[in-house]
Amino acid sequence: MDVYEAVDSRRAVRAFSDEPVPEEVLRRVLRAATRAPSSGNLQPWHLFVVTGEPLAELKRRATRRALAGDPGDEREYPMYPDGLTSPYLDRFSAAAAQRYGALGIERDADRPRKIAALNSDAFGAPAVLFCYLDRTMGPGQWGDAGMYLQTVMLLLRAEGLHSCPQVMWTMYRRTVSRVAGADAELVLFCGIAVGFEQEGAPRLRTGRADMAETVTFIGA
Ligand SMILES: Cc1cc2nc3c(=O)[nH]c(=O)nc-3n(C[C@H](O)[C@H](O)[C@H](O)COP(=O)(O)O)c2cc1C
């Protein structure tokens, strides 16, 4: 698979089969991803790979919280800025409508609970990668972590695997940290659900803004 194909075929998959991901594949991907760039080569990410019984236990605990309507642990960083305006708000709303339409989740009072419950099961994925940053790191290093995680997700495609980044895990960050054994100096950025896509699951190709909206060529 060439890199264009990997980029084009990566999408947030929200229905995984229970086929386990071989550990040697995860190790190959994560070893290759160590080549991701970072400002000053700080490599500020800390990744916890959770599978098997520890993941099953984490899903049980988080799903119990989700179904109970637990609003989640106090956030360590805002998922989105307050007062999101156009064009970001429009993109957010369009993607949410596409996403929940594909999942068959109606716009009713129970919607947040249903969304939380699907996320807390990692959409059935047999592996979740939890990415943390040291509390002392700033915006530049958070950007580095994004580059690293995209590198991981593209390499997963090269292995025939799919993924879904999940900021929703930050709602249950205390539960995650307990299971992962992450110390208090670390802040949970997000989880990445990893696995093989469930056969017959609806395929969602989320829209994108036209390139001209986000890219400016100067001098060309
Ligand atoms: C950092 C990050 C966090 C995300 N968190 C969630 C999440 O909690 N739940 C979810 O279903 N999708 C989540 N997504 C997936 C986005 O909704 C998705 O990437 C976006 O709508 C574009 O769709 P695509 O990835 O399928 O192309 C997240 C994506 C990123 C990059």
**pLDDT score at 102:** 87
166 pocket-lining for ligand 1 (C-beta < 6 Å): yes
Using a cut of 0.85, tell me whether the model's pTM lies above it: yes
For 47-74, the pLDDT digits (tens) are: 999 999 999 999 999 999 999 989 999 9
- Residue 13 CA: nearest ligand 1 atom is 26
SS3 83: coil
> How many C-alpha atoms does 183 have within 13 Å on its Cβ side?
3
193 pocket-lining for ligand 1 (C-beta < 6 Å): no
Specify the residue with its C-alpha closest to ligand 1, atom 18: 12
For 137-195, the pLDDT digits (tens) are: 999 999 999 999 999 999 999 999 999 999 999 999 999 999 999 999 999 999 999 99
Specify the residue with its C-alpha closest to ligand 1, atom 13: 166
Q: Domain 3-78+114-203 belongs to what architecture?
A: 3-Layer(aba) Sandwich (3.40)
| Cα dihedral 37/153/49/45 (nearest 10) | 20
Does the bond joining 87 to the residue before it have cis omega, within 30 degrees of 0?
yes
Distance separating alpha carbons of residues 94 and 191, to the nearest angstrom = 23
Specify the residue with its C-alpha closest to ligand 1, atom 31: 165
For 120-148, the pLDDT digits (tens) are: 999 999 999 999 999 999 999 999 999 99
